[in-house]
């Protein structure tokens, strides 16, 4: 007769661990939303879970690992929201798809300003997404939703590339090209992708951080105008 007690105990331990990790993420996010990034500490999360700080070390080695897990979780949520928005338009219309994605990015950011701040303003050092960081790949899962649509527009031949690209840009843009799964996209086009993202991100960030309050009560039309400009840069015929 096969002894299954060991396997059952292993499943229980796995379930308990998964529940504890989910609880920690829920608490960490609430602390972020209610009190800001500095409130997300091992001690604070452990206290809310009814543990001592050393008790939480069974799940996270320290503050960096906790914050990296939260950042990864938020990037995955944002990537899923953008991917769902993308699917609201037909697959053969990358321009309208990118517009939907840009609008969803703005909606998510305005609905989750503290989460947006943690991801994109990097208010704590442990929220970085540098190569080697646990949040690096999740950040690219988010990024490739946007980048993939830009590549589709490039394939159609309408991207306005600069005549000359400063050689100093080349090394900086190579990492982006490495994430394109073998697509032969020239660095000049990748430069346009980065410039386009900077405009989209900038339009969202100035609104989320309240830097348009001095002039606009409704920044929506300005955002739409920015999206129009970005789509024109990327060669969308409709733009």
- HEC secondary structure over 88-157: CCCCCCHHHHHHHHHHHHHHHHHHCHHHHHHHHCCCCHHHCCCCCCCCHHHHHHHHHHHHHHHHHHHHCC
pLDDT confidence of 210, banded at 50, 70, 90? very high
| Domain-embedded: residue 239 | no
Task: Answer with the one of 16, 33, 60 that is the final residue of a domain.
Answer: 60
Q: How many CA atoms lie within 13 A of 155 on its CB side?
A: 13
Is the confidence at residue 25, as pLDDT, over 70?
yes
What is the distance between the alpha carbons of residues 5 and 10, in angstroms, rounded to a whole number? 9
Residues 79 and 192 in one domain: yes
pLDDT confidence of 167, banded at 50, 70, 90? confident
Q: Is residue 136 within 8 Å of residue 71, measured between CB atoms?
A: no
Is the confidence at residue 9, as pLDDT, over 70?
no
| Domain-embedded: residue 220 | yes
Is the confidence at residue 1, as pLDDT, over 70?
no
What CATH number does residue 199 fall under? 1.10.357.10
State the virtual CA torsion across 69, 71, 73, 74 in degrees, nearest 10: 170
On average, the pLDDT of the chain sits at 92
What CATH number does residue 19 fall under? 1.10.10
Residues 42 and 117 in one domain: no
Whether the CA torsion 40, 18, 121, 100 is positive or negative: it is negative
| Domain-embedded: residue 13 | yes
Predicted TM-score (pTM) of this structure: 0.90
| Domain containing residue 97 | 70-233
Residues 221 and 192 in one domain: yes
Residues 80 and 101 in one domain: yes
Number of domains in the chain: 2
Q: Is residue 212 within 8 Å of residue 222, measured between CB atoms?
A: yes
* C-alpha closest to that of 21 among 49, 54, 53, 62: 49
What is the distance between the alpha carbons of residues 230 and 151, in angstroms, rounded to a whole number? 14
């Amino acid at each position: 007769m096969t002894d299954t007690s060991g396997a059952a105990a292993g499943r229980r331990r796995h379930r308990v661990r998964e529940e504890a990790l989910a609880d920690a993420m829920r608490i960490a996010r609430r602390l972020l939303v209610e009190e800001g990034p500095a409130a997300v500490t091992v001690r604070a999360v452990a206290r809310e879970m009814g543990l001592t700080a050393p008790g939480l070390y069974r799940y996270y080695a320290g503050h960096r690992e906790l914050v990296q897990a939260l950042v990864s979780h938020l990037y995955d949520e944002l990537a899923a929201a953008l991917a769902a928005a993308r699917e609201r338009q037909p697959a053969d219309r990358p321009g309208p798809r990118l517009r939907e994605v840009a609008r969803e990015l703005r909606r998510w950011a305005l609905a989750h300003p503290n989460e947006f701040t943690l991801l994109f303003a990097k208010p704590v050092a442990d929220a970085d997404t540098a190569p080697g960081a646990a949040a690096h790949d999740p950040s690219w899962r988010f990024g490739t939703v946007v980048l993939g649509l830009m590549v589709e527009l490039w394939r159609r031949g309408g991207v306005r590339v600069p005549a000359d690209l400063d050689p100093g840009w080349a090394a900086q843009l190579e990492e982006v090209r490495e994430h394109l799964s073998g697509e032969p996209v020239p660095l000049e086009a990748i430069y346009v992708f980065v410039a386009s993202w900077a405009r989209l991100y900038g339009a969202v960030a100035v609104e989320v951080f309240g830097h348009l309050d001095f002039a606009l009560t409704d920044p929506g039309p300005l955002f739409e105008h920015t999206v129009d400009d970005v789509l024109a840069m990327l060669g969308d015929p409709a733009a």
